[in-house]
């Protein structure tokens, strides 16, 4: 991926995540790495659309038909929307809901990175390799840069 593409994608994701966090709009965004997620997910609609903050915000709007489930970013595109993962089998804190359990589940079985926005408190959490890592808004850009650095 070219540097300008990477910068644009990071900017669009950051814009969307900041809006979703501030409006306490639940979201789950998985960034595919080397492992293909086709056999690790169910349902979903193939969009294969350019990544934009407005599209991500529209997808997760509570009144939109695709807001349930995750989006999967593949090859710098929003490939799937409204797709589902098996939830983790391990016991995790009750403060985490279905999105977090799904994010943990997918993070345990592949190398993708999943970002979750809580609709309870607007908090942003990254699930990777079976662990959760909370993200403060002021550190969001740096974390996104690292995700895209690791995925290349």
The pLDDT tens digits of the residues spanning 88-130 come to 999 998 889 999 999 999 999 999 999 999 999 999 999 999 9
pLDDT 10s digits, 68-86: 999 999 999 999 999 999 9
| Phi, psi (deg, nearest 5) at residue 32 | -65, 145
Rounded mean pLDDT, 28-40: 97
Contact 120, 129 (CB under 8 A): no
User: How is residue 97 annotated by DSSP?
Assistant: -
Residue ranges of domains in the chain: 3-150
> Is 106 within 8 Å of 37 (Cβ atoms)?
yes
pLDDT of residue 1 exceeding 90: no
* Predicted local confidence at residue 152, as pLDDT: 57
User: Residue 103 contacts by C-beta under 8 Å, 6 or more apart in sequence?
Assistant: 28, 30, 70, 85, 114, 115, 116, 125, 127, 132
Q: Which CATH architecture has domain 3-150?
A: 3-Layer(aba) Sandwich (3.40)
Q: In which band, very low, low, confident or very high, does the pLDDT at 2 lie, cut at 50, 70 and 90? A: confident
pTM reported for the whole predicted model: 0.96
The tokens describing 29, both together, are 């965004």
């Amino acid at each position: 991926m070219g540097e300008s593409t990477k910068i644009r994608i990071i900017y669009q994701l950051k814009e969307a995540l900041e809006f979703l966090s501030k409006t306490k709009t639940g979201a789950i965004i998985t960034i595919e790495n080397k492992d293909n997620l086709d056999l690790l997910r169910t349902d979903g609609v193939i969009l294969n659309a350019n990544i934009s903050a407005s599209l991500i915000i529209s997808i997760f709007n509570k009144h939109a038909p695709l807001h349930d489930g995750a989006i999967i970013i593949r090859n710098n595109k929003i490939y799937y929307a409204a797709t589902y993962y098996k939830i983790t089998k391990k016991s995790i804190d009750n403060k985490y809901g279905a999105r977090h359990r799904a994010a943990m589940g997918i993070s345990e079985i592949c190398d993708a990175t999943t970002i979750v926005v809580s609709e309870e408190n607007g908090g942003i959490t990254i699930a990777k390799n079976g662990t959760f890592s909370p993200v403060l808004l002021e550190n969001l850009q740096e974390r996104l840069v690292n995700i895209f650095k690791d995925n290349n």
